[in-house]
Every structure is written in C-alpha cells, then in structure tokens.
A and B are shown apart, each in its own frame.
Chain A
C-alpha cells in the first residue's frame, strides 16, 4: 500500500466539497511501504483512513473514568457506547466513515434483562452443583464448563449486537448462525487446547474466527475468514516463546513482558484483520511485530511510575487508615449498632475505597491513552482493502439485534470492547 492516499480515488473524482479534510497531525500517514508487503497484482488498493483525534479520545476516557466512581460503575454502559462511537466514526474507507448506532440505554436494558435471565439459570446451576457434591466431593467442578459455554454464547450474541449496530454507507452489518452451536464448538476447541497443553490454541482461534466471519454479512455481501491455524501458530511462535523466556528474567521482565505482549497483539491483529473478506472485498494488513513496541514501552513506564507513586502514597495513607479502620471497637449485636459503627468510620472507609479505585481508574486511563489509542490508530491505518468498489453496490438485508447478549456478557464478565 502507498503512503499517499490519492484523494481523487480510483472511483472517479469526488466533489470538491466532499473531499476529506487533510489528515490531522496525529493521524499517521500509514507506514511507508515495505518490501515485505508486495502489491497484489494489478488490484486497486483502497486504504483505510483513521480520523480520530487523541484529544477526543482522552476527553471520552477522562469523563468515563471521572464518572466511574460516583456512578459505582454504572457509567460503563455510556462509556462503552462513547468509545465505540469514537472508534467507528474514526474509521473511513473511500470518504465514508463507519457509524455506530447503538445507545447506552440499550446496553443498560440488555444488562437488566440479562440479570432476569441469568439469575434463575445460575440458581439452578448452583443447586445442581450441590447435588453433584453429595455424590462426590468437588464433583461440581465439571459444572464450570457450563459457565464457559454460556460465556461463549453471550460473546457471540454480544458480537451480533455490535455488528448490527454498525452501519456503513447506509447499509447495516448483520450476523446469523446459532450462538449455541458456536458455544459448543468453542467448548470442543477448549478441550482440544487443554489436551494439547495450548498448542491447539491457534487452530481454535482460526476455527472460531471462521465461524464468526462466515456468519457475518454486510448487506448482501457474506463475510469470510482466510486466516489459518498454522499461519497464526507460525506468527505467534517467536513472540510467545519470547514472552515465556522473558517472564523468567528478573527485573528485565518488567519490560520484556509488555514488549512481548505488544508483539503478540500485533501479529494477532495482522492475522485477524488480514484474514477478513466480505464478498469480493479482501482486507489486507501491514501490521508488523514492532508496530506497538513504542506504545508498550511508554505504557509500561507510565503505569510503573504511576503505580510507584500510588503505592507510595497509599502505603502511608491508605494502609495507615485501613489499620485504623480495622482496629476500631466492634459493637456486638444488632444491625443498627454495626451500621452505626460503619457510618462513624465512613470517612476512612470511603477514603480507602476511593484510593483503591483511583489506582484502578488511573491504570485503565493510562493504558487507554498510551496503548489503546495508538493501537486503534495504527491498526486502522495499517489496513487496506482490495476490490473495495464492491462495497458501493450492496443491498440492505439484515435487521437490528437486541442487546441481551451484551448484557449477559457484562453480567458474566466476559465482554470484549
């Protein structure tokens, strides 16, 4: 792919007033073409452009983190929606950006419904587990498999929700296929991965991505996935080995782990993005292993520095107050007496919790700023399409899917971005 994206485009000149604005200073003009990235024969290549500004992203994250505490985490539905809107609208192909049509309210409603669905299921599961325990101690462990299957079910439905809220050129993405079949396929792969001590994991990833993308559609274009387990295995081999070795070197592992993790994320991103197609439209990725090296080092240093200060202050302040808290006279007896004591010591309690949350929020914020943003930016800008003209004659076909899956995924803690 080339670094100078041609504003005229191969599909005829755009109207002058519809030209994209000059790329912002933060949007990298993609990477210079490398010899390792041979142009496909005579096919036109359309770059994916990333328009998102770091300032907007910081604003979204800062507001999200600031509101996380006072809303006891309920702001997560709004934050997630804002993040997705930002990412979707920041990605454009041929002067048209993706659009995210989901709303926070949908997520909240999905979450409430999920609780209603999940509560009876989990109670049943609990009772069945107990019953198994009467036969044999720890016999309920296999019931944990149920949670795994249910998590994959939720993840599939959540993806379907996100996909059907994704609109491009006035046409909706959508998804079919049975979430249960997906979940049991995943379970089978997990067993295989366990039996082979993780060696089969790349094949599991390939199998599941194939399932997901073959059931994904953009209007009347069907998705597909071309990445193979062997391809992923080869790509992951050195970074994964580096991670395992690096993790055992004292001190140096503080940097080795994030660096190797960044390489793993990069090669996985390359494999994932580069494997996707919709009808004749093929995705290409020029991500290389070192694409996220800088962000990983910066993030590790920033989080390390922040963590040192946080623990330093916390050691004096938080633990001091926690000790004070832990040793106050405990009243015996009634709820009211215990509650009264809790209220009297509420300032210490709140201070302790606030400090704990500030740490979590701070780390999340730093990571989103120094790692997540460059990752989105560089992944998008490293992507290009061939046969993109096929995207212009697509006919609407799918319809919006409910948000129950997202709610279940949230309730199960198995949700992705």
Chain B
C-alpha cells in the first residue's frame, strides 16, 4: 500500500513551514519535491497539540521540536493504527488518574501523620538541644511583643516586689530547674499569666486582682514553672512552624484554602496544648505539695475568672482542659495525698497585701 498526502513540516531549527508530501511506507516519509527530508519510525511518533481536525506528530529520534502536521483524515487514521505510542508526551495514561489520587492520599496521610505525631516529638528533641542562652534570647524577643500586645509594663513596687521575690524564691528553689526562672508582674488588666521561652514568666495584674489567697497565685505560678520545666513555649513555637509548613504543602493555591489549613492547624495544636497544660498542672501540683500547700486553689482562681456552667463540655478547639475538670482532679489529688497540707504560709498577711498592690500607682 502506498499512501500520499500533503503535510506541513517544521524542522525544529527554523520557523519556516515546508509544504511536504507525506508517504506511509515502513515508516513515515517526509518528502519535499524529490528530497526525502526525514523518515520517522511509527513507534517513535508522539502526538502534539494542534488545531482541531489535524494531527501533529514529532519523532523521539528527530530534533526535539521538528514536527509534521497532517489534515487528511485517511492518513491520520492510517498513522493512528500504526503508531502504538502515539499520545501526548506529558499525558497521564487512563489509570494514571487513579495513581495520582492514591499517591496524593498517601502523601496527605503521611503529611498529617507527621504533623500530628512527628512534629511534637521533633519539637521536643529540638527544644532539648537548644542552648539555654538562645532560648532566653527568644524569650526576650517574645517578651517585647507580649508587653506591646497586652499593653502593660513590668511592675516593680518596693514591698510588693519583695513579696514577689520571696514567693518566686520558694517556688523556684523547690522546682529545681536547670535554668533560672524570672517571674515578673505585668500591669495588664487581663486576668492571665504566661510562660515565655527561656524562663520568663509574666503574671498579669488582672489575675492578681482576682486572687484571694497566696496559694492561688502560687498555684498559677507553679503551673507556669511547669511549662518552663517542659520548655513548652519553645516547643509550641517550633511545633507551630513545623505544622504550618507541612500543612502548607496541601491544597496549594485554591482560593481560601488557607482558612482550612488554619482550622486543621488549630485542632492539632490545641490537642497538643491540652496535653502540655495537663502536664504543667501535674508539675504545679507536685510543687505545691512539696511546699506543703494545697494545689486546688489554682483551679479555684480560674473558676472565679471563667465561671463556666456546670456540665459544660470541652471542644477540640480548646487549648486548655476544662476548668471544672481541673478543679475536680486537683482536689482529688490534695485529698489523696495522705498527709495534711498545712505547711507554713507562703506569704504573710502584709506581704500578700503588698503583692496585691504591686502595680498600684503611688
């Protein structure tokens, strides 16, 4: 059989179109006048994108961009029959879609798994080898931001400062941390306390105002010292960076997908944060017990600050365990200790009054 038809040929070197004759023989012969420009083997042919109702092919053995376009339907059909590997270069084969889905699923599961299980372990490892001086630098950096965000300055009232120093001393000596802890009161009205990386603890004046007993403040500080002992601030920071990065690999640039990533990240980090809080509670509890004082006042001051209704349930977005549950657990721990918690008061009446007014304007 001998088929001829016209075609348009580009040699891949210049943009000149040659009107050629195409002959189908053992291969595809491209003939210009009397000269055979090329003969392409059918198995080497690959399809290229072209205008509707035309077939454009290249040969893997020819210069990369050389191509031949044919419009004659009979010849196109004849080539299709013979060229077994005629498909667009980058095109996935039919079962390819399934493979993409399966591999993506595997990748996503692996990414989420690493984000959930791997990153916390990695963060713990990195935190434990981070030198204390570096962590302290970091804490100083965050401290600057905390002051700006919560709007407050460090209070250094004379007698109040002395009371705070005494309380800090008692707590930190018993805590026996490898690095020093620095506790300061910030004049913010928000009832809260934070433990920054590098041993810096900020107690907000707002919490001090709501506290009714030195043990309550000591309980809060014990809890924060627990965070310092576990280096939770640094860990949380490394974790946040790690999970953001990993989850950012998913979804890419679909409009608004950042929100979804944020929600997933919130859930993961809240889960780990609840664990860290529970661990800090245990540390604080043991610290208070070592000083011969009860641990439950911590939860009592929290209940006063956030009186949640009885029977409230936790949510996966919560960063802390439920206050009611913490209270129950700490009271049970105090009761089951088996020895009376009647150690010497941490502060006397005068010291306590001074501490309460540490931020008062003179």
Given A170-B15, A353-B260, CB of A330 within 8 Å of CB of B253: no
Q: Give the docked Cα–Cα distance between A97 and B14 (Å).
A: 16
* B257 in contact with A70 (CB, 8 Å): no
- Interface status of A47 (Cβ within 8 A of chain B): no
Given A76-B252, A330-B314, CB of A89 within 8 Å of CB of B49: yes
- Interface status of B140 (Cβ within 8 A of chain A): yes
Partner of B12, one of A104, A328, A332, A396: A396
* A333 in contact with B90 (CB, 8 Å): no
Within 1-29 of B, Cβ neighbours of A (below 8 Å) are at 5-6, 8, 10-17, 19
Given A21-B51, A330-B318, A396-B12, CB of A134 within 8 Å of CB of B141: yes
Given A51-B51, A89-B50, A99-B49, CB of A364 within 8 Å of CB of B254: yes
Nearest Cβ in chain B — how far from A24, in angstroms? 8
* A330 in contact with B316 (CB, 8 Å): yes
Surface stretch bound by B, among A145-153, A191-199, A245-253, A354-362? A354-362
Cβ contacts under 8 Å, B14 to chain A: 170-171, 219, 393-396
- Interface status of B308 (Cβ within 8 A of chain A): no
Nearest Cβ in chain B — how far from A412, in angstroms? 10
Within 27-51 of B, Cβ neighbours of A (below 8 Å) are at 48-51
- Interface status of A289 (Cβ within 8 A of chain B): no
* B253 in contact with A413 (CB, 8 Å): yes
Within 117-174 of B, Cβ neighbours of A (below 8 Å) are at 117, 120, 137-138, 140-142, 144-145, 147-148
Q: Give the docked Cα–Cα distance between A51 and B51 (Å).
A: 8
* B65 in contact with A133 (CB, 8 Å): no
Q: Give the docked Cα–Cα distance between A17 and B7 (Å).
A: 9
- Binary CB contact string for chain A from 99 to 127 against chain B (1 if under 8 A, 0 otherwise): 11111111000000001000100100010
Partner of A74, one of B17, B54, B72, B100: B100
Q: Give the docked Cα–Cα distance between A338 and B116 (Å).
A: 10
* A97 in contact with B51 (CB, 8 Å): yes
Given A20-B51, A392-B15, CB of A330 within 8 Å of CB of B315: yes
Cβ contacts under 8 Å, A356 to chain B: 259-260
Given A17-B71, A75-B100, A85-B49, CB of A103 within 8 Å of CB of B89: yes
Cβ contacts under 8 Å, A31 to chain B: none
Nearest Cβ in chain A — how far from B336, in angstroms? 18
Q: Give the docked Cα–Cα distance between A73 and B140 (Å).
A: 39
* B19 in contact with A70 (CB, 8 Å): no
* B65 in contact with A18 (CB, 8 Å): no
Q: Give the docked Cα–Cα distance between A330 and B250 (Å).
A: 27
Q: Give the docked Cα–Cα distance between A18 and B255 (Å).
A: 42
Cβ contacts under 8 Å, A19 to chain B: 71
Q: Give the docked Cα–Cα distance between A325 and B259 (Å).
A: 18
Q: Give the docked Cα–Cα distance between A300 and B313 (Å).
A: 42
Within 121-140 of A, Cβ neighbours of B (below 8 Å) are at 122, 126, 130-131, 133-134, 136-138
* B116 in contact with A339 (CB, 8 Å): yes
* A100 in contact with B49 (CB, 8 Å): yes
Surface stretch bound by A, among B216-224, B270-278, B349-357? B270-278
Q: Give the docked Cα–Cα distance between A184 and B65 (Å).
A: 35
Surface stretch bound by A, among B104-112, B181-189, B225-233, B292-300? B104-112
Partner of A126, one of B10, B56, B241: B241
Q: Give the docked Cα–Cα distance between A361 and B5 (Å).
A: 47
* B316 in contact with A325 (CB, 8 Å): yes
Q: Give the docked Cα–Cα distance between A413 and B12 (Å).
A: 35
Cβ contacts under 8 Å, A24 to chain B: 52
Nearest Cβ in chain A — how far from B12, in angstroms? 5
* A102 in contact with B90 (CB, 8 Å): yes
Nearest Cβ in chain A — how far from B234, in angstroms? 11
* A67 in contact with B16 (CB, 8 Å): no
* B92 in contact with A171 (CB, 8 Å): no
Cβ contacts under 8 Å, A101 to chain B: 89-90
Cβ contacts under 8 Å, A391 to chain B: 15
- Interface status of B53 (Cβ within 8 A of chain A): yes
Nearest Cβ in chain A — how far from B257, in angstroms? 6
Partner of A119, one of B88, B117, B245, B251: B245
Q: Give the docked Cα–Cα distance between A78 and B147 (Å).
A: 48
Query: Is chain B's interface secondary structure helix, strand, loop, or mixed overall?
Result: mixed
- Binary CB contact string for chain A from 327 to 368 against chain B (1 if under 8 A, 0 otherwise): 111101111001101100100000001001101110110000
Cβ contacts under 8 Å, A18 to chain B: 6, 8, 54, 69, 71
Cβ contacts under 8 Å, A137 to chain B: 141, 144-145, 147-148
Nearest Cβ in chain A — how far from B64, in angstroms? 9
* A70 in contact with B316 (CB, 8 Å): no
Partner of B313, one of A85, A105, A219, A327: A327
B6, B16, B248 — which one has the most chain A CB atoms within 10 A of its CB? Answer: B16
Cβ contacts under 8 Å, A75 to chain B: 100, 104
* B141 in contact with A130 (CB, 8 Å): yes
- Interface status of A35 (Cβ within 8 A of chain B): no
- Interface status of A224 (Cβ within 8 A of chain B): no
- Interface status of B81 (Cβ within 8 A of chain A): no
Q: Which residue of B lies closest to A165 (CB)?
A: B90
Q: Which residue of B lies closest to A335 (CB)?
A: B117
* A17 in contact with B6 (CB, 8 Å): yes
Within 56-103 of A, Cβ neighbours of B (below 8 Å) are at 67-68, 70-76, 78, 81, 85, 88-89, 92, 95-97, 99-103
Q: Give the docked Cα–Cα distance between A393 and B10 (Å).
A: 11
Cβ contacts under 8 Å, B69 to chain A: 18
- Binary CB contact string for chain A from 355 to 394 against chain B (1 if under 8 A, 0 otherwise): 0110111011000000000000000000000000001111
- Interface status of A180 (Cβ within 8 A of chain B): no
Q: Give the docked Cα–Cα distance between A339 and B268 (Å).
A: 10
The 4 closest A-B pairs by CB, nearest first: A103-B90, A170-B10, A137-B144, A133-B141
Give me the interface of A with B, judged by CB distance under 8 Å.
Answer: 15, 17-21, 24, 51, 67-68, 70-76, 78, 81, 85, 88-89, 92, 95-97, 99-106, 115, 119, 122, 126, 130-131, 133-134, 136-138, 167-172, 219, 325-330, 332-335, 338-339, 341-342, 345, 353, 356-357, 359-361, 363-364, 391-396, 410-411, 413, 415
Besides the contacts A171-B10, A392-B15, what 11 more A-B pairs have beta carbons closer than 8 Å?
Answer: A17-B71, A72-B250, A85-B88, A89-B51, A130-B141, A131-B141, A342-B316, A356-B260, A357-B260, A411-B248, A413-B253
28 contacts between A and B (CB under 8 A): A17-B71, A18-B8, A20-B51, A21-B51, A71-B108, A72-B107, A72-B108, A72-B250, A85-B49, A89-B49, A96-B17, A97-B51, A99-B50, A99-B56, A115-B249, A122-B245, A126-B241, A170-B12, A171-B15, A219-B14, A326-B315, A327-B315, A328-B315, A330-B314, A335-B117, A341-B316, A396-B12, A413-B253
Give me the interface of B with A, judged by CB distance under 8 Å.
Answer: 5-6, 8, 10-17, 19, 48-54, 56, 65-67, 69, 71-72, 88-90, 92, 97, 100-101, 103-105, 107-108, 116-117, 120, 137-138, 140-142, 144-145, 147-148, 241, 245, 248-257, 259-260, 267, 271, 274-275, 278, 313-318, 321-322, 325
